[in-house]
Structure 1
Amino acid sequence: MPKSRVRKKKVYHSKSGSSSSTGDQYEPSPAWVPATAVGLIVFGIAWLTIFYLSGQEYPVLAWGNWNLAVGFVSMVLSLLVLSRWK
């Protein structure tokens, strides 16, 4: 039976053009990224909790159910900020 050919593995290079023997340099996220994300999550949960516990009168009575949008948008924004966290 014939023996199958051994294939060479492709070598991938980074697009940045920097070739270092230790690999890519790791840059941690700025300190504002996790702090902002946690702040947005806490703000969104607090907004929704106040809205439900107050019988839908607070934080802003005139907004009605748009208060739900404020809370959920805040939490979605926190997910977008967390996508920058390394």
Structure 2
Amino acid sequence: MPESKPRKRPARTVETAAKEQYKPNPVWFKPVMFGLMIVGLLWIITFYITSGQYPVAAWESWNIVAGFGIAIAGFLMTTRWRS
């Protein structure tokens, strides 16, 4: 059975490959990243200072999970941060 000819790819230089891979983050990325980390920390601190009455009294100890979840979302954004 005859084999088909492979298609020729355009030559890629190191410069074009680097340009394709590097795309800086949008302007809003860094403030949102740091904002999430700070809001998560403040959420947990508020929960402890108010003895569980704030931010959401009905959630009881789940406020800790919410605070850590918000902060972890910010920390996960750091893995995608390009300056």
| 2:13 alignment partner, one of 6, 13, 19 | 19
Q: CA deviation at 1:79?
A: 1.5
Deviations 1:22-79 (A, max 9, x none): 8612322111221111110111011011100001111111100000001000111111
> 1:30 — aligned with what?
26
TM-score of the pair, normalised by structure 2: 0.73
Runs of 4+ aligned structure 1 residues displaced above 2 Å come to 20-23
Count of residue pairs brought into register by the alignment:
70
| Larger Rg over CA atoms | 1
Change (3 A) 1:46 1:21: closer
Sequence identity (%): 33
Q: Give the gaps of 5 or more residues in structure 2.
A: 1-10
Q: Give the gaps of 5 or more residues in structure 1.
A: 1-16
**What one-letter code is carried by the residue in structure 1 that aligns with 2:43?**
W
Change (3 A) 1:21 1:29: closer
Higher helix share: 2
Superposed CA RMSD? 1.9
